[in-house]
Chains A and B, each alone.
Chain A
Amino acid sequence: MSDHAELRDELVRWLPNLRAFALSLTQSAEHSDDLVQDTLVKALSNPDKFQMGTNLRAWLFTILRNSFYNDIRYKKYHPSAPIDEVDPSSLEMRATQEKYIEFQDVLKGLAHLVPEQREAIILIAAEGLSYEEAAVICKCPVGTVKSRLSRARQRLEAYANGEMVHPEPVS
């Protein structure tokens, strides 16, 4: 099997994770699918930048988050209509009513975090990555990942106590 075919198969394997990560980051079904497609195009068009046998997930997630932050920067200077918020009912997930409410809670909580804090929580808690792996993807020191997680918890506590809080810029 060629490297190309292998890469394609591996991409398909990690597609659900890419979509889940993108949706968690963007909070927008439409934007997340655009991001994933952009990631697929970049990955398949630059296979030489990936070394088979190394961590493909980390490579793909890095591409995706780079595109995401590029989009944010672009939108900052080219504002358009606000992106649609994710409603669990817009997803095909077969949730029970109780889960549906829980998912709404999760989305509300995540929406009150800045993207850097959101991605830290998702990579560590949901993807199960180590601090070191998350730091590679986020291109920051391990200590920064830990502090973003800590800030995320503080913000969620503030939100839970009705002390909200507008998104703050992350250095």
Chain B
Amino acid sequence: MKERQKGGEKRRLQQPQQPQPVQIVSDEALGARAGSLTGLLEKKKNRKPDSLGREGEPKLDQARFTAGIVRFYEALLKEPIPEKMLRLIEEIAMREQKS
């Protein structure tokens, strides 16, 4: 399953319709991000046990994930508004004003 996800991610990375401009990310950075949510969520397997050999509690890097959500949302806010939506507003507003 994870292999499939990795394959899917690689394929997506190779697709020509990626958003522009594309910055080259180092192999190391890409490797660190392989798998699901590795960029934003800390993987259990990457956590080191403490001095007594106990594994730490599962931990979500919430601050980074929240920051990711904020950046994603900010990018959505900058999306251009489709012309048809603006036209729709005008049409309904005019219709309502007449009625």
A residues neighboring B (CB under 8 Å): 2, 4-5, 7-8, 11-12, 15-17, 19-20, 23-24, 33, 36-37, 40-41, 44-45, 47, 87-89, 91-110, 121-122, 125-127, 153, 156-162
Contacts and interface: CB of A to CB of B under 8 A. Distances in A.
B36 A108 contact: yes
A4 B60 CA distance: 47
Contact of B76 (A8, A24, A44): A24
B77 to A, nearest CB: 5
Contacts of A100: 18-19, 22
Given A94-B20, A105-B37, A106-B65, 17 more contacts: A4-B93, A8-B89, A16-B77, A20-B76, A37-B88, A41-B88, A45-B96, A89-B18, A98-B23, A103-B71, A103-B72, A105-B68, A106-B40, A109-B37, A109-B41, A126-B70, A160-B41
A19 B22 contact: no
Given A47-B96, A91-B79, A99 B71 contact: yes
A156 B62 CA distance: 9
A160 B58 contact: yes
